[in-house]
Structure 1
C-alpha cells in the first residue's frame, strides 16, 4: 500500500509555481560532451536538485521532460540530459561510465546559484536503478537517491525473468520458454551482446549512506518487484520503499503490467517531490508485492557453450544434411533422403524462430497451441523425424558404407545433442 504523502508536502511557494524555466547546459566525462536542460522553478533559492538518469537503450532528455517539469513545479531544480551514444550500445556499455556521467551532471547542478549544493541527488529508472546507486556510492556530493523500477538482482537474471513473462503472456510454456530465457540468453551473453550481464548491485546498495527512495509498480513485468523491495529493505541502511498497486515498470498506470495507460500512477510525482524536499529521518517500507514466480540466476556459459562452437555446429549440420542430395555417387537410401529433408528444415527453421524471438519477443510466431507456437511444434516434429531418419541412415550406412550416407549420418549424430540443447527434443 502507498504511504500518504500529505505530511511531507513541499513548501507552498514551491508547490504553487505555475511555470518553469529551461536552461541549456553542457558537461563532460571522459572526453564526451553531454547536453542537457535544467528545468527549475523561476526565482528559486536554495532549491534541492535532482539529476535524472536514463533507463536502458537510447534516450534523449525529452523522454523525461514531463516528470522534470512536474518536479520543478514542486520546487526542485531538475537536470535532464541526452544519454551518451559513444561507448553505449548493445555490445558495449559500462555502468561505471554512466555513473560518472551522472556525477558530472550533479556537479553542474551544485554550481547553480539557485541550488543548495548540499541537497542535490540522483533519480534513476530501470537501468538507472543500477547506475544511480553506483554514482552515489562514489561521491559524498550526492545527497540522496531516488530509484524507479530498480533491481536488486543481476541484469541477466532480471532479463531472463522479463523474457519469460513476455512469452508466458502469449500462452507459451515448456521448452521454448526455457530456450529463450536461459539457453538463448547465455549464448547472447557469451557472444558479447549483453554487456554488464553479471553486475551485482548488492555490494553497492550495502555501501550507501545517503537516504534512498525506492519506488516500484506492483504490476512491473520487467523488474521482479517483490524481490527488489525485499533486497533494498535488507541492504539499504536509510530507505523509504513504496509500491504502487496499479502501476507498471515506469510507474505509468496499467491494468496488467503490459499495457500503458495515460498518466502516471496517482501520487507518484507528488511522492518524489515531497520526499526530495523533506527526506524522512526513519526508514519505512511497503510490503513487497506478490510475484507469480521468483527470478532465477542465469549461469555463465559452460565449457561446452562457447559462441564459436554454436555458430559452427549449425553450419556443419547444414552442410552435412545438404550433402546427400548434392552428391550423387554412392548408394541411395530412403532414410538418407528423410534425414536430409528433416534435418535441413529443422536447422533452418530453428534459426528463423530464434531470430523472431529476439526481434519480436515471440509475437511473430503465430498461434499457440498447448503451450507451443505452431512453428515450434513443427520444428519438434521435424526433429523427431530427423532422429528416426538418423537411425535408419545408420542401418543403411552399415550395409553400404560410403561418404554419401556417412556425411549426413555424422550430421544426424551431431544433431541429436544440438537439438536437446536448444529444446527441440524437449517438452
Structure 2
C-alpha cells in the first residue's frame, strides 16, 4: 500500500451471509464527515481486491475513503452468476463502510466497472443508504447483446469481415446461451436504471471495445429520465479504454495509468453531490468511437436452439461415422467392398473435419475475440483457417451430390447393408447443407 495512505482491513457479510474481506483506504488524519465509496468489480471469479487498487489509491488521494474487497467465488462462475447476489454483496460493503471512523454515513456511494455497471444500479435501487453511484464502462444493453458486440468489435479491429463475424460468432453465442452456459443473457437493465433515484456519474473511454460507447449512454439517459432522475453527468475520456485507463492503440492495450482527469472528476463530483450541489443532465467530452452497432439477440427459434444443434451433431456422428467404421470392420473380416463413389470418403472425412474444426475454431475465436482478437493469418479480411473450413464445406456438399448420383445409377447392384451405410452417410450430408448455411460456412 502507498505510504501516504492508511489501510484498514475489514470484514463484512455478503449475500447469503457469506464472509467477505476488504480494505479501506484513506488519507491519514482526513477530516471527519468525509464521503466514502465502495468499488465493485467487473466480471471474473474471485477477483482480488488488488485488481482495483489503482483506482482506490487515486480516489483516496482525492479525499474519499475507499473500500475494495475480494469478489466472491462461491456461487459465481463462468456459467453461473447472479447480479442480484452481487448487488447484495455490494450493499454489505456499503453498510460496513458507513460504520468506519470519520465517514459521514449519509455520503457513502458505489462505483461499478463493466459488469459492476449492471450490479450497482440494482444495489442502488434497493437501498436509500447508497448516496450516489459512479459507473465506468457500464452497459444499458442485455449481457448477451453486449458480449456478441464486444467479440465482433475485437474481430473487426483485427481486420475480420464476412460470415465469421456476421453470422457464426453471434450464432455460437445464441446456442451457448440457450444451453444455459451464459449467465443472465437476456437481463434487461432499463427498468432497474429507471428505479435509480441517486445522482449518477457515468464514465466511458472513447475507445471502449467491450461496451458500445455510442449506444449505451443515450439508453442510460432515457431510462433515468423515464424514472424522473435528471441528476446525471456523463463524461467521455479521450485516449481511454473500457476501464477509463489510458490506451495507446485504440483500446487494445490497457495501461496501468488512469485517463487524465478521471480521478479528479470522481473526487470533485462526489464531493459536490454529497454536499447537495447536484448536476443536471450533462454530457461532456469527445464523441466516442464505435465502428459497428449491436444487433438484437433474442431467444432462438427451435431450429437454432442448443437442442437442435445437438441433434445435428448426433446425425453427423452417426451418418459420417458409420461409413469408416463399417469399412474398418469389413477390412478386419477381409470382406471389403468397392465404394459406390470415392466421393463418399470425402463426405465422411470432410464432414467430420468441418464440424469439429468449425466449432473448435469458433470457441477459440470467442475466447480471444473480445478486445484482443487473434483470428490467425488473414487473406482479404478472412481468417485462413475459416476460409479452409469453408472450402472443405463446399467440397463436402459437392461430394454429397456426387455420391447420391452414383448410388442412384448403381442402386440395383448395391447390397442391402451398403444401402444402409450410404443412406446414413447421405442423411448426414443432407443435414450438413442447411447446417453449414446457418453457420456461414457456405457464405462469403
Match among 240, 243, 251 for residue 236 of structure 2? 243
Contact 1:330 1:404 in 2 (8 A): no
Question: Which residue number corresponds to residue 40 of structure 2?
Answer: 53
Question: Which residue number corresponds to residue 116 of structure 2?
Answer: 128
Question: Which residue number corresponds to residue 421 of structure 1?
Answer: 438
Contact 1:213 1:239 in 2 (8 A): yes
Match among 41, 51, 69 for residue 27 of structure 2? 41
Decide whether aligned partners of structure 1 residues 163 and 364 sit closer, same or farther in structure 2, where only a CA change above 3 A counts.
closer
Return the alpha-carbon distance in structure 2 between the equivalents of residues 291 and 348 of structure 1.
Answer: 33
Decide whether aligned partners of structure 1 residues 54 and 180 sit closer, same or farther in structure 2, where only a CA change above 3 A counts.
farther
Question: Which residue number corresponds to residue 340 of structure 1?
Answer: 348
Instruction: Report the RMSD for the aligned CA atoms in angstroms.
Output: 1.9
Aligned residue-pair number: 411
SS at 1:317's partner residue? helix
Tell me the alpha carbon deviations over residues 255-290 of structure 1, each in whole angstroms, 9 at most, x when there is no partner: 311122341110001110111111242311126524
- Structure 2 stretches of 5 or more lacking a match? 328-335
Match among 366, 370, 373 for residue 376 of structure 2? 366
Decide whether aligned partners of structure 1 residues 364 and 151 sit closer, same or farther in structure 2, where only a CA change above 3 A counts.
closer
Segments ≥4 residues shifted beyond 3 Å: 328-331, 362-365
SS at 2:74's partner residue? coil
Report deviation, 1:314: 2.2
Question: Which residue number corresponds to residue 403 of structure 2?
Answer: 393
Return the alpha-carbon distance in structure 2 between the equivalents of residues 125 and 370 of structure 1.
Answer: 37
Question: Which residue number corresponds to residue 100 of structure 2?
Answer: 112
Return the alpha-carbon distance in structure 1 between the equivalents of residues 178 and 396 of structure 2.
Answer: 29
SS at 2:112's partner residue? strand
Question: Which residue number corresponds to residue 285 of structure 1?
Answer: 283
Matches within 5 A, 1:52-201: 52-58=39-45, 59-201=47-189
SS at 2:304's partner residue? coil
TM-score, normalised relative to structure 2? 0.88
Tell me the alpha carbon deviations over residues 315-339 of structure 1, each in whole angstroms, 9 at most, x when there is no partner: 4313322322332466622231232
Return the alpha-carbon distance in structure 2 between the equivalents of residues 37 and 141 of structure 1.
Answer: 20
Contact 1:180 1:357 in 2 (8 A): no
- Structure 1 stretches of 5 or more lacking a match? 1-16
Matches within 5 A, 1:223-302: 223-236=211-224, 237=229, 238-255=231-248, 256-279=250-273, 280-283=277-280, 284-286=282-284, 289-302=288-301
Report deviation, 1:313: 2.0
Moved more, 301-310 or 246-255: 301-310
Tell me the alpha carbon deviations over residues 79-109 of structure 1, each in whole angstroms, 9 at most, x when there is no partner: 1000000011011100000001011111011
Tell me the alpha carbon deviations over residues 106-129 of structure 1, each in whole angstroms, 9 at most, x when there is no partner: 101111231101100000000001
SS at 1:121's partner residue? strand
Contact 1:331 1:405 in 2 (8 A): no
Question: Which residue number corresponds to residue 330 of structure 2?
Answer: none
Contact 1:330 1:403 in 2 (8 A): no
Return the alpha-carbon distance in structure 2 between the equivalents of residues 104 and 325 of structure 1.
Answer: 60
Report deviation, 1:304: 1.6
Report deviation, 1:18: 7.8
Report deviation, 1:145: 0.3
SS at 2:240's partner residue? coil
SS at 1:285's partner residue? strand
Return the alpha-carbon distance in structure 2 between the equivalents of residues 338 and 61 of structure 1.
Answer: 54
Moved more, 297-306 or 193-202: 297-306
Question: Which residue number corresponds to residue 383 of structure 1?
Answer: 393
Return the alpha-carbon distance in structure 1 between the equivalents of residues 254 and 92 of structure 2.
Answer: 33
Decide whether aligned partners of structure 1 residues 426 and 134 sit closer, same or farther in structure 2, where only a CA change above 3 A counts.
same
Moved more, 178-187 or 158-167: 178-187
Report deviation, 1:253: 0.8
SS at 2:204's partner residue? strand
Decide whether aligned partners of structure 1 residues 173 and 148 sit closer, same or farther in structure 2, where only a CA change above 3 A counts.
same
Question: Which residue number corresponds to residue 10 of structure 1?
Answer: none
Return the alpha-carbon distance in structure 2 between the equivalents of residues 339 and 249 of structure 1.
Answer: 46
Decide whether aligned partners of structure 1 residues 112 and 138 sit closer, same or farther in structure 2, where only a CA change above 3 A counts.
same
TM-score, normalised relative to structure 1? 0.92
